[in-house]
Structure 1
Amino acid sequence: MSKIQAVLIDDEKHCNETLQFFIEKHLPEIEIKAVFIDPSEALLFLQNNTVDLVFLDVQMPGFNGFELLAKLKPFHFEVIFITAFDSYAIRAIKFSALDYLQKPLDLEELKIAVESVVSKRAFKEKQELFNNLLEAIANGNQELNRLSLPSRNGYVFLNIVDIIWCKAEGNYTILKVRDGSQILATVPFKKIEDSLTLKPFVRTHNSYLINREQVRHLVKGKGYILMTDDEQIPISRYRKDTVIEQLLS
């Protein structure tokens, strides 16, 4: 599973510093993306960036933590609330079965709260896998639109139309995507090929599979295909005629 991208929001600077120290020293699964003492600045950041987890102080000047979340609805990150008061806010958080920390911060309570977030995150990934499975069952013989790929950091979910090419890399597979990223899937090339047999994909070489809808130019006499990302994909001699036929069909 990839690192949890987190933001710290507390108007008390020393509380942010304590939390940051605990995380950096004891919770390597968390990467701190930003730290804020001003909720307005935090709001702007969260409106323009994707994160997994927000440590959010309840009482802050300007607007409180609940008001900040209301301004962001709908949001897709987990929240661990932080408060110095055993107040109605804590009772409401407990009633809602959400995670919170009480000041002064305690390392063991922090670890328990983060473990809860990790469990929820793993559940969401598993839920996505089940959703893909149910979609496959519901569609029967119809073509599917998404691919679930195990990686070193968890699972990646791709729209199949976004895949430009796939390349065998030992027992793994590299997939190039339209947003420019490359994904290392921890599954053999053959499994990827089997998953894409009914899609517009063409095997050009022992190590390459291309999306024919992402072909820019078939270069005659050069033994390769130019893709929309400017990658030159080789065509093996014995596959040449079949590849050209598939590209022109």
Structure 2
Amino acid sequence: MHILIVEDEARIARRIIRMTKEFFLNTVVKLTHKESLSEGIDFLENNPLDLVLLDLNLNGEDGFGLLKQTVSGSFHTIIISAHRDKALQAFEYGVLDFVAKPFNQERLNLAFNRVLRKEDIADRTINVLAVKKRGEIKLISIDDIRYIQGAGVYSELVLLNDTKMLHDKSLEKLEQLLPKTFFRTHKSYLVKVSEIQKILVSSGSKYDLILKNNEVLPIGRTRYKELKSVLAI
């Protein structure tokens, strides 16, 4: 695990570092602490990361300036902040968890377990996905997404207007963040349920789904029964 902590209060930073090391033990390969917004942005742009722990108030600077860049990255982001009123906005940008200050080891462990997929996110309120395009961050409403296709360590967003955009997060990471309105129909596809027209069953136990635009996508055999249940058919 390569972890970046962006926190301006040295006492709290030391506490986060200690708790992080206690949870991940020998799996932490590199743990870096930065105190300012500019230092955090510079580090994440030049280093591979698995996780960012981010405060939203950095010496008076708004941590959302860094958040827009972190949620477009391949790693997960956990907010650790006293500004509880910012939680909903943070989740709308696609953070994995929001840990309110003051916090204890148990609450931080819950957030870390979500990174390891041992805990589900009960209320996924993400409204947008942040995509890097031509050096800028573009916010894509999830309402505009038809489906998402895995592309190795990346994912390809297919929009309702047939535009395709590459996202730095893997399909597995996006599945953790997206609401239940998206369903993992196949190892390579996350589909918006409302865009599914019907299921097509062929000989040899082959399953496909027909989207409302008549596009055909495969259904994994292990996903077929659950998808039928979701569609109530």
TM-score using structure 1 length: 0.44
Larger relative contact order (Cα-Cα within 8 Å, sequence gap ≥ 6): 2
Larger radius of gyration between Structure 1 and Structure 2:
1
TM-score using structure 2 length: 0.47
